[in-house]
């Protein structure tokens, strides 16, 4: 007999690969006074778990989105002064730590990409499945919107953005259509852009890979928020902030993010001595030990429960040596 009782609604925010993130960071967070940074607070799911699981740890959490800080602040209020929430972009981590007089931390977590709240709030313009103003700013108090990018950037620059940040093979076709349309009327809402992309792509390209607008929306979001340039600064800064024995875990959601994280971790874990030295001097020894073999993926069960986990790629590393002087 089938169960006809009402089903509980799906949770608004399900932290991705939560158990594995806790396992990776855990060995560094058990001692009293340990400080862990959640560089991408969002709705606070990972932060709440870190504070609950490691009662000796103190949390510093960053987010560029004032609305996320407000909502997660309520969620984390029960932890009192163990949680410090800061309105900042994650490449500002060194300044945040300096302002709090925290020279070194024991853990750092990055959960990159768009938060559940930003996807679920229709008026933010991140989701291509519903019509909304083309905004896409993670911090709506600053910067230019996706509509401004579409309406004002030169065609060549738009092609570069779609190819580089969206890995869109049909960038030129899409941009040609955008330029024709914006000359008639500026872009304001997402539905018009989605329809334009559907009409611009060849039939064969629309039959695979999900929504054909996905790559263009990703590219615009990355451009609007400067995500890759911010990440290029943030990951090395986070590694530098780790105490010896400290650990970092990074969840990435597309190949561009993951490749950048991989490169920083690989460089930190490499022996940089000139070839042929019989003994490797201290300054050439690796600073990091990799904690994951390649990028770890979510389990099939997790993806079945939380479809937003599907593209996640998790990498972790441990600081094993101070910077060379």
Angle at 22 between CA 236 and CA 73, to 5 degrees: 80
Tokens of 37: 């940074």
Residues 126, 23 contacting (CB under 8 angstroms): no
Q: What would the two tokens of residue 124 be? A: 């933010």
The reply, when asked if residue 99 is annotated as ligand binding, is no
Give ∠ CA 186-115-301 in degrees, rounded to 5: 125
Task: For residue 46, say whether it is annotated as part of any ligand binding site.
Answer: yes
Q: Tell me whether residue 63 is annotated as binding.
A: yes
Query: What pLDDT does residue 281 have?
Result: 78
pLDDT (tens digit, 9 = 90+) per residue, 62-74? Answer: 999 898 899 999 9
258 is known to lie in a ligand binding site: no
Phi–psi pair at 81, nearest 5 degrees:
-80, 5
- pLDDT confidence of residue 141: 81
pLDDT tens string 173-213: 999 999 999 999 999 999 999 999 999 988 766 666 667 88
Q: What is the domain class of 18-117+227-319 according to CATH?
A: alpha beta
- What pLDDT sits at residue 169? 93
Alpha carbons 263 and 246: distance in angstroms, whole number:
19
Does 90 appear as a known binding residue?
yes
Looking at residue 209, its pLDDT comes to 62
**Under 8 Å CB-to-CB from 295, ≥6 apart: which residues?**
252, 258, 262, 313, 314, 315
Domain positions in the chain: 18-117+227-319, 125-225
- Report the CATH architecture of 125-225: Orthogonal Bundle (1.10)
Per-run averaged pLDDT (10 residues), the chain, 325 residues: 36 81 97 96 95 97 92 96 96 97 97 62 57 86 92 97 94 96 94 92 70 89 92 97 98 94 96 76 87 96 92 97 76
Report which secondary-structure segment, H or E, holds 93.
helix 93-99
44 annotated ligand binder: yes
8 Å CB contact between 34 and 56: yes
- Write out pLDDT tens, residues 269-287: 998 777 777 777 777 789 9
Place of tokens 């899409």: 174
């Amino acid at each position: 007999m089938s169960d006809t009782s009402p089903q509980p609604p799906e949770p608004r925010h399900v932290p991705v690969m939560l158990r594995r993130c806790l396992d990776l960071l855990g060995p560094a967070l058990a001692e009293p006074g340990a400080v862990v940074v959640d560089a991408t607070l969002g709705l606070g799911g990972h932060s709440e778990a870190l504070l609950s699981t490691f009662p000796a740890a103190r949390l510093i959490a960053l987010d560029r989105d004032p609305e996320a800080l407000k909502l997660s602040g309520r969620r984390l209020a029960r932890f009192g002064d163990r949680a410090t929430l800061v309105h900042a972009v994650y490449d500002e981590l060194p300044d945040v730590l300096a302002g709090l007089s925290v020279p070194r931390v024991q853990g750092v977590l990055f959960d990159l990409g768009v938060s559940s709240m930003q996807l679920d709030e229709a008026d933010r313009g991140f989701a291509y499945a519903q019509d909304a103003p083309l905004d896409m700013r993670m911090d709506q108090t600053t910067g230019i919107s996706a509509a401004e990018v579409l309406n004002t950037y030169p065609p060549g620059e738009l092609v570069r953005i779609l190819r580089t940040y969206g890995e869109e093979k049909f960038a030129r076709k899409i941009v040609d259509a955008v330029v024709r349309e914006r000359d008639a009327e500026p872009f304001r809402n997402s539905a018009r852009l989605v329809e334009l992309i559907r009409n611009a792509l060849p039939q064969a390209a629309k039959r695979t890979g999900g929504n054909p607008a996905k790559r263009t929306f990703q590219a615009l979001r990355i451009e609007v928020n400067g995500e890759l340039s911010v990440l290029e600064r943030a990951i090395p800064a986070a590694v530098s902030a780790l105490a010896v024995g400290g650990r970092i875990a990074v969840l990435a959601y597309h190949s561009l993010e993951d490749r950048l994280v991989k490169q920083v971790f690989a460089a930190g874990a490499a022996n940089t001595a000139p070839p042929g030295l019989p003994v490797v001097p201290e300054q050439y020894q690796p600073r990091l030990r990799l904690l994951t073999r390649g990028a770890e993926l979510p389990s099939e069960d997790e993806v079945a429960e939380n479809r937003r986990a599907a593209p996640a790629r998790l990498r972790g590393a441990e600081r094993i040596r101070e910077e060379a002087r």
